[in-house]
Amino acid sequence: MMVTKTVKDLRKHIKELHLSPVGLVPTMGALHEGHLSLVRNAAAQCPLVVISIYVNPTQFNDKEDLKNYPRTIEADLHLLKEVLRKSDIVFNPDDKEIYPTEDKRVFHFGNLENVMEALHRPGHFNGVAQVVSRLFEIVNPDIAYFGMKDFQQVAVIKELVKQTGYKVRIIGNPIIREADGLAMSSRNRLLEPEIRKKAPVIYKTILSASEMTDKLDIPEIKEYVRKTIENENGFSVEYFEIVDDAELIPVSKKRELKTRKHYFGCIAVKAGKIRLIDNIEIQLV
């Protein structure tokens, strides 16, 4: 694999290699098995994979979160050596390469900016759209791969592609979990040991909730999720919403569920000082 920090070098290599389709895996580093599964899928479909490792400041609404975000480039490169091929590229730019001038673009995503993460992390998706659109312009990929743990992010990026007309197919890969069920996340390594031990309660609870629509209505399911998780010391639920997978409109009553649609229970939890998200498909009866 080759590693580059500059847009100029990256473009030169992509041009020289002249391979297609080009797969892009955007990441913020601190790689784990979830990222590696994206890279493996990309490599199975694309003769050239570009993985970007860049902690994008514009998507952090919380400056402390940006400061504390894990940066582990040496370990990341070590892991990538195992999964990337000779011609694949790691793009590890600094801020000036991505934003030579301040990015003042403002994106609008309709209902997607009125629910869940958008409400709790103001400006977050605008920053995601800024960096992802920059990466699309730099790499010009045919396919881009994202993890479905960031359920709303995938919907936002699909909408971005629709609005801007980028010729890129967006693939959302299934969530990869630890053996105890916790969704893999770069932030897991920041959890205090006691909190980490209890963190599987998040998945366990939404898994049970996903099978409850035959017995309980939505407000009761939401109440069950909140109570069960908050029963653990140090855990508080920011939101748990059941939304359809297209427009992400929250459902408030069971009678609104349509059997031809797919619904997901999406959750954000403060686990100690760390914010975690997860989601699961809701079983319809």
Q: Whose Cβ is closer to ligand PAF: residue 134's or residue 196's?
A: 134
Nearer to ligand PAF, 62 or 211 (CB): 62
What's the closest the beta carbon of residue 190 comes to ligand PAF, in angstroms?
A: 15
Taking residues 21 to 60 in sequence order and writing x for each that binds ligand PAF by CB under 6 A, - otherwise, the string is: -----xxx---------------------------x--x-
Considering only 38, 43, 115, 131, the residue that binds ligand PAF (CB under 6 A) is 131
Residue 150 CB, nearest approach to ligand PAF (Å): 5
DSSP 76-95: HHHHHHHH--TT-EEE---H
Question: In terms of CB distance, is 26 or 250 closer to ligand PAF?
Answer: 26
For residue 198, give the H/E element and its range.
helix 193-198
Q: CA 23 to CA 41: how far, in whole Å?
A: 9
CA dist., res. 268 & res. 156, Å (int): 17
Identify any residues that bridge with 172 across adjacent strands, giving them in sequence order. 146
- Contact residue for ligand PAF among 83, 115, 128, 175 (CB under 6 A): 128
Indicate the SS3 state at residue 260.
coil
Q: Which of 150, 159, 241, 278 binds ligand PAF (CB under 6 A)?
A: 150
Q: What x/- string results for residues 58 through 97 when contact with ligand PAF is judged by CB under 6 A?
A: -x--------------------------------------
- CB 27 to ligand PAF: min, Å: 5
Whether residue 83 contacts residue 39, with contact meaning beta carbons closer than 8 Å, is answered with yes
The SS3 assignment for 130 reads helix
108 classed as catalytic: no
In angstroms, what is the C-alpha Rg of the chain? 19
Which residues have a Cβ under 8 Å from the Cβ of 213 and sit 6 or more positions away? 221, 254, 257, 282, 283, 284, 285
- Residue 56 or 188 having the CB closest to ligand PAF: 56
How near is the Cβ of 25 to ligand PAF at its closest, in Å?
9
Is position 130 an interface residue for ligand PAF (rule: CB under 6 A)? no
**What is the size of the binding site for ligand PAF (CB under 6 A)?**
10
Chain centroid offset of residue 7 CA: 24
Q: Which of 35, 120, 124, 262 is catalytic?
A: 35
Nearest distance, CB of residue 133 and ligand PAF, angstroms: 10
Among left, alpha and beta (phi > 0; psi -120 to 50; other), residue 185 is beta
Q: Is 143 left (phi over 0), alpha (psi -120 to 50) or beta?
A: beta
Of 126 and 210, CB closest to ligand PAF: 126
Q: Residues interacting with ligand PAF, by CB under 6 A?
A: 26-28, 56, 59, 128, 131-132, 150, 153
Catalytic positions, please? 35
